[in-house]
Structure 1
Amino acid sequence: MTVVSAIWHGGDLDTAKRLFPDAPDPWLDLSTGINPIPYPLPDIPASAWQRLPGRAEEAGLLAAARRAYGVPADAGLIAAPGTQILIELLPALGRAGDRIAVVGPTYGEHVRTWRKAGHEVAEVQSLAEAGDARVLVLVNPNNPDGGIVAPGELDDVARRFAARGGLIIVDEAFADFEPGTSIVPTLPPSTLVLRSFGKTYGLAGLRLGFAVARGDLTARLAERLGPWAVPGPALVVGTTALADRGWRDAAARARAGDAERLDRLLAKIGRVIGGTSLFRLVETEQAADLFDRLGRHGIYVRRFQDQPLRLRFGLPAGEAAWSRLAAALAG
């Protein structure tokens, strides 16, 4: 098996505390792209903890997800304990000798998992550079720069891949709050889409994600997941939250406003070069010094191994957090 290097991820407060042992508590973690205002947890019956998840409960979750994401009636849909486990399983859809093209720079686990499985992986900067790759991987909106490929353009590329037996994988982890970006409602053939629950609903610890595709692709992934993939409490929370369109629409508007506010704050220390409603990306020559300064103030932001001039900022939660960030940046 090919050995690949570890990837820096957001949300790793153990690393933050090791880097800045004298930072004040509590930490303000802005290193993730998770909604800082979570969905209010519904009542979870004791039975959800005490027995194995039932088929009826899973069917209820999938029905709610199908409506929330606009999944076509003839497309397959499966739930998993987070999209990361689905990313780990994606190489099972490939074949020996496949060439994989990943549009980047992007979420590093996509390159890592295919290389770990022994595939030849090329990081390309656009769809046009995919060449003769059999599998094309795209994060849309992209993480960390928020770049978007319009569904119409992606549909054309997907159909060309399908005509020669290829496969397109679209990671839409941040699509919920970016209207008009999802390809799910018009799902073309030979296309598999990943959707993340935890980022949108601020409940990343719940570990819930989905895969959508036509044909047998989702069934093949489900077989590898095995039975009872999603725990009972996640079925209850996911079903309730996904059915609450009013909350999601209100959250989308509120987080878009927060992103604009964060842009105004970050413009004072660097150039805001992109992002989504849940995070912003800044480029500055002072990135390393800024990371250290914020860390000493107990504020953790996302840095990048291969882009040392860039930092990604998540959204603060509440006025106290906003004031703390503003003061640290001004200092």
Structure 2
Amino acid sequence: MDLPQALRHHGDVDAEPGLLDFAVNVQGSGPPRWLRDRIAGVLDDLGRYPSAAHDRAAREAVAARHGRRPDEVLVLAGSAEGFALLPALRPRLAAVVHPGFTEPEAALRDAGVPVEQVLTDAADGHRLHPAAVPAAADLVVVGNPTNPTGVLHPADDVRALAAPGRVVLVDEAFADAVPGEPETLAGEPGPLVFRSLTKTWALAGLRAGYALGHPDLLARLARSRPPWPVSTPALEAVIACCEPVAVAQAREAAVELARLRAEQAAALAAVPGVTVLPGRAPYLLLRLPDGRGERVRADLREAGIAVRRGDTFPGLGPDHVRVAVRPAGAVERLVEALGAALGESGAGPRTESPPSCRKATFTQPRGVNVAFLQGGRA
């Protein structure tokens, strides 16, 4: 797979209908009932264009949630729209920290922006080293927690990326899925931060998120947007998910998700040949025995299970796979299928403990994690 094709590969391609879905990181098969009702409540407004007043209400809700001003908020049709807008910043050189979500680099390369990949090192726990970023880069993109490694970088390391004339974009798509949201910079004025609502609230089909940053920077980012870029239902979803009750419920969900993650990591580490890399996000990065990855993925698919291939992420190879956190019943199926695929030739159960960056030019189970947001426990 060549670089442009690899950068555009995402987990939804791996998760064909009918497969048990460990490839996509959305939690649950759909939003909780109360959120569905809020979105359905604006359907009668679809005959009118999204209003400036509705957008302002959404920005006010986000601002209150993060302790910002409304003019420091730009509501997006999902984080992916924000990445597509990055060329409007006219960077001379972009540095993208990898392994990481590939859409920012794809959007920048499509626009002809020079991109330098900064690869973190597995031997160092994929730790971020700010000094490894080229000094000439006037746009730096980093995920926190990083997708697919799940590594949560210390906020001070991310702050250290700041430099005169440089925009630092922190992709916090999964920050609300980590209990307490440690290391977030969403409430700070310096960096540009993207947030997504599609993961915790199962809104991938609606496209809802937002950017936080200085008003002048947001104005530059938005200058190439078409009129009415965010739909009325998405604006209402942003308001609903940023209200205090929803934020509190998401925090509870993150705690439950962390418990499920720990149990899943232990179960997978007990499969001979599977190495579970350390992380904090609602997914786990696995390394399979050398040369077995492609065959194992095929065997899992034959067993009705979809996992996210790792070789489309710069810095990873075909023996890496990413799996979303799922309930115990689904995990049992994955563990059984992995064991069968690897047979008795694995290297034994193993988990890695984090110990330099280098430069380089199923149908989803219903109610996963957010089930208790609907009134029950996962």
TM-score by length of 2: 0.76
- 2:13 corresponds to which letter in structure 1? D
Alignment partner of 2:275 out of 249, 271, 274? 271
Give the C-alpha shift of residue 71 in structure 1: 4.3
Aligned to 1:84: 80
Alignment partner of 1:100 out of 73, 94, 100? 94
Give the C-alpha shift of residue 184 in structure 1: 1.7
Q: Contact 2:130–2:157 at 8 Å: present in 1 too?
A: no
Q: How does 1:204-219 map to 2 (within 5 A)?
A: 204-219=204-219
TM-score by length of 1: 0.86
Aligned to 1:142: 146
- 2:167 corresponds to which letter in structure 1? L
1:156 aligns with 2:160: yes
Give the C-alpha shift of residue 319 in structure 1: 5.1
Give the C-alpha shift of residue 74 in structure 1: 7.6
RMSD: 2.2
Distance 2:192 2:269 in 1: 37
Distance 2:49 2:157 in 1: 43
Q: How does 1:85-234 map to 2 (within 5 A)?
A: 85-95=81-91, 98-125=92-119, 126-132=129-135, 133-158=137-162, 161=163, 163=164, 165-178=165-178, 179-188=181-190, 191-234=191-234
Give the C-alpha shift of residue 38 in structure 1: 4.7
Alignment partner of 1:312 out of 316, 322, 332? 322
Give the C-alpha shift of residue 311 in structure 1: 0.5
Q: Deviations over 1:262-295 (max 9, x none)?
A: 1012112311113434111101113223212210
Please give the secondary structure, in 2, of the residue aligned with 1:216: helix
1:325 aligns with 2:369: no
Q: Structure 1 pair 4/294, CA: closer, same or farther in 2 (3 Å)?
A: closer
Q: Structure 1 pair 277/5, CA: closer, same or farther in 2 (3 Å)?
A: closer
Q: Contact 1:80–1:225 at 8 Å: present in 2 too?
A: no
Please give the secondary structure, in 1, of the residue aligned with 2:212: strand
Give the C-alpha shift of residue 111 in structure 1: 1.9
Percent identical: 30
Alignment length, in residue pairs? 310
Distance 2:279 2:22 in 1: 14
Distance 2:64 2:267 in 1: 37
Aligned to 1:35: 27
Q: Structure 1 pair 203/315, CA: closer, same or farther in 2 (3 Å)?
A: same
Q: Structure 1 pair 245/74, CA: closer, same or farther in 2 (3 Å)?
A: closer
Alignment partner of 2:57 out of 60, 85, 94? 60
Please give the secondary structure, in 1, of the residue aligned with 2:298: helix
Distance 2:295 2:61 in 1: 46
Distance 2:13 2:5 in 1: 17
Alignment partner of 2:47 out of 29, 45, 50? 50
Distance 2:317 2:59 in 1: 38
Distance 1:319 1:309 in 2: 24
**Runs of 5+ unmatched residues, structure 2:** 120-128, 341-378
**Runs of 5+ unmatched residues, structure 1:** 18-24
Please give the secondary structure, in 1, of the residue aligned with 2:192: strand
Q: Contact 1:79–1:230 at 8 Å: present in 2 too?
A: yes
Q: Structure 1 pair 275/37, CA: closer, same or farther in 2 (3 Å)?
A: farther
Q: Deviations over 1:202-232 (max 9, x none)?
A: 2211101211111411112233223321111
Distance 1:187 1:154 in 2: 13
Q: Contact 2:152–2:279 at 8 Å: present in 1 too?
A: no
Q: Contact 2:176–2:251 at 8 Å: present in 1 too?
A: no
Stretch moving more, 261-270 or 44-53 = 44-53
Q: Structure 1 pair 294/48, CA: closer, same or farther in 2 (3 Å)?
A: farther
Distance 2:157 2:222 in 1: 29
Aligned to 1:261: 263
Q: Structure 1 pair 67/84, CA: closer, same or farther in 2 (3 Å)?
A: same
Distance 1:49 1:319 in 2: 40
Alignment partner of 2:296 out of 278, 290, 293? 290
Please give the secondary structure, in 2, of the residue aligned with 1:289: helix
Q: Contact 2:145–2:281 at 8 Å: present in 1 too?
A: no
- 1:295 corresponds to which letter in structure 2? R
Give the C-alpha shift of residue 119 in structure 1: 2.0
Give the C-alpha shift of residue 75 in structure 1: 5.7
